[in-house]
Amino acid sequence: MDKHIYDTYVSILRTELIHALGCTEPIAIAYAAATARQVLGCEPEHIKVSCSGNIVKNVKGVTVPNSGGQKGIAAAAVLGAIGGTAEKKLDVLADVTDADRVRTRELCAAGFCDCELIEGAENLFIVIDAEGGGHTVRVELQKYHTNITSILKDGVEIPDNVSAENAAGGTESAQSGKTAASAASPAPDKGLLSVKDILLFAEEVKIADIEEVLGDQIRCNSAISEAGMTAPYGAEVGRTIAKYKDMEDVRIRAQAFAAAGSDARMSGCPLPAVINSGSGNQGITVTMPVLAYAEKYGFDQDRIYRGLAVANLISIHIKRFIGNLSAYCGAVNAGCGAACGIAWMLGYGEDVISRLITNSLATIGGMVCDGAKPSCASKIAAAVDTALLSLELAIDGHVFAPGEGLVKNDVEETIQSIGRMGRVGMKSTDIEILNIMLDK
């Protein structure tokens, strides 16, 4: 395998598969707010959160983790500003205390935080304006959940080589460098992803290059799924599947444990997940079906890691044509990725996996995302079920033909076709979903 492609795939896994505590959109708000406080050097006296419609959509109905059940933009921002640890990025709320939770409720009730919709912005766009101690700070985050692109203190841009802690010293020190939070390494080139090379990578990858990140994904996502199966989080989709269906059936176990992780995550479980494509739900959906099949068939750790590499990279490959946030539900590509990982572990090659991808995307590609919330767990169960049916069809040689709907001549063209529909065709759908949610 080409060394540059190999190294890029390893880098994609290491940069994409990171910890996040709670749904990543409220966490991104909390991270930006915690950074604003750090730069301000004191607790803010007032903050304003301005964000794009997709952020509003994905924060409105989800419980902010470690918040004691609080929901919404203001709760995420205030808790981040009061008790967040900016250095922990997507684990920003890991260390909040009972006192922070109480203070957050009080400040939200007192009008400490104003919230505003930014129309026509990037899908993922957050601005925090904070004031206190005679200073003002503006933090701007866009495109992905930890990508702080601008920090202003008293109207002066903080340059690239100064930490946020040093910037808290005032505008003079801010002028001498740029906050570390805004200095991001170049992202690995996802344009090098292809189904063929992903499968070749799975065959050739040195386990030492992926075992740390994938081992962490297994541990974290298994723990939060187990939490969802043992406690009554959200709508209890995972527990309901287990109650009414045969958990001896590996297909049912795959659906139940994937859904249970989302049950817990969407309803405030204080456990982190390892994400995929910026989403904890997608990270859980990629992971748990693979582990269910690995347990059923007794696959060794080496094979599990390689199967998870396939699952994660296929999901990322499909999602890159859609974008991080859209009206297209990311459970579709995550469920499809999981089924590809399962197919690889079962010994199937490129032909079957390409048919599987085509079948899955042609069936539920375009399932709408109407925000992060407890019903995500049910969509995950449906996506996993569809992907496993698509695998069974593919094993028997069945595949939807070119010219049938959005299916094209080969799997790569079909992935791009579905991506265009999600990214471009569903823009107006996204706007209408937001308008309905905001009662406009």
In a domain, 17, yes or no: no
Query: Which carries the bigger pLDDT value, residue 202 or residue 173?
Result: 202
Q: Work out whether the CA dihedral 226, 280, 18, 177 comes out positive or negative.
A: negative
Residue 122 shares a structural domain with residue 194: no
Residue range 217-258, pLDDT digits in tens: 999 999 999 999 999 999 999 999 999 999 999 999 999 999
Residue 195 shares a structural domain with residue 302: yes
How far is residue 25 from each of residues 10, 28, 227, 268, 300, measured CA to CA in Å? 26, 5, 21, 13, 35
Q: What is the pLDDT of residue 185?
A: 61
pLDDT band at 160 (very low <50, low <70, confident <90, very high): low
Gap between the Cα atoms of 315 and 332, Å rounded: 9
Look at the chain and report how many structural domains it folds into.
2
Residue 31 shares a structural domain with residue 158: yes
Whether residue 103 is predicted with pLDDT greater than 90 in this model: the reply is: yes
Dmax of the chain from CA atoms? 69
Whether residue 167 is predicted with pLDDT greater than 60 in this model: the reply is: no
- How many CA atoms lie within 13 Å of 192's alpha carbon, on the beta-carbon side? 17
Mean residue pLDDT of the chain comes to: 91
pLDDT > 70 in the chain, percent: 94
Residue 157 shares a structural domain with residue 241: no
Q: What is the pLDDT of residue 54?
A: 83
SS3 9: helix
Interval 274-290 mean pLDDT: 95
Q: What is the pLDDT of residue 166?
A: 47
Residue 195 shares a structural domain with residue 163: no
Q: What is the pLDDT of residue 173?
A: 36
In a domain, 397, yes or no: yes
Q: What is the pLDDT of residue 432?
A: 87
Rg, the chain, Cα only: 22
- Report for 80-94, 297-311, 417-431: range of highest mean pLDDT: 297-311
For 57, phi then psi, to 5°, come to -60, -40
In a domain, 363, yes or no: yes
Query: Which carries the bigger pLDDT value, residue 14 or residue 60?
Result: 14
Residue 150 shares a structural domain with residue 288: no
Whether residue 380 is predicted with pLDDT greater than 80 in this model: the reply is: yes
Residue 336 shares a structural domain with residue 382: yes
Residue 348 shares a structural domain with residue 234: yes
Query: Which carries the bigger pLDDT value, residue 284 or residue 56?
Result: 284
Enumerate residues 6+ apart whose C-beta is below 8 A from 91: 19, 20, 21, 85, 272
Of 154, 182, 210, the position where a domain reaches its end is: 182
Residue range 316-359, pLDDT digits in tens: 999 999 987 788 999 999 999 999 999 999 999 999 999 999 99
CATH number at residue 249: 1.10.4100
Residue 208 shares a structural domain with residue 325: yes
Enumerate residues 6+ apart whose C-beta is below 8 A from 75: 26, 64, 67, 104, 108
In a domain, 47, yes or no: yes
Judged by average pLDDT, the poorest of 50-54, 96-100, 187-191, 298-302 is: 50-54
Q: What is the pLDDT of residue 168?
A: 52
Gap between the Cα atoms of 52 and 71, Å rounded: 18
Residue 230 shares a structural domain with residue 135: no
Q: Supply the pTM of this predicted model.
A: 0.85
By residue range, what is the domain housing residue 408? Answer: 190-437
Query: What tokens appear for 260 in the block?
Result: 């249970």
CATH number at residue 44: 3.30.1330
Amino acid found at 325: L
In a domain, 10, yes or no: no
- The DSSP result for 142-171, as a single string, is ESSTT-EEEEEETTEE--TTS-HHHHTT-H
Residue 169 shares a structural domain with residue 238: no
Q: Work out whether the CA dihedral 395, 396, 401, 405 comes out positive or negative.
A: negative
Gap between the Cα atoms of 183 and 188, Å rounded: 15
Residue 34 shares a structural domain with residue 109: yes
Residue range 18-33, pLDDT digits in tens: 988 878 888 999 999 9
- The DSSP result for 396-425, as a single string, is TT--PPTTSTT--SSHHHHHHHHHHIIIII
SS3 336: helix
Judged by average pLDDT, the poorest of 10-24, 170-184, 189-203 is: 170-184
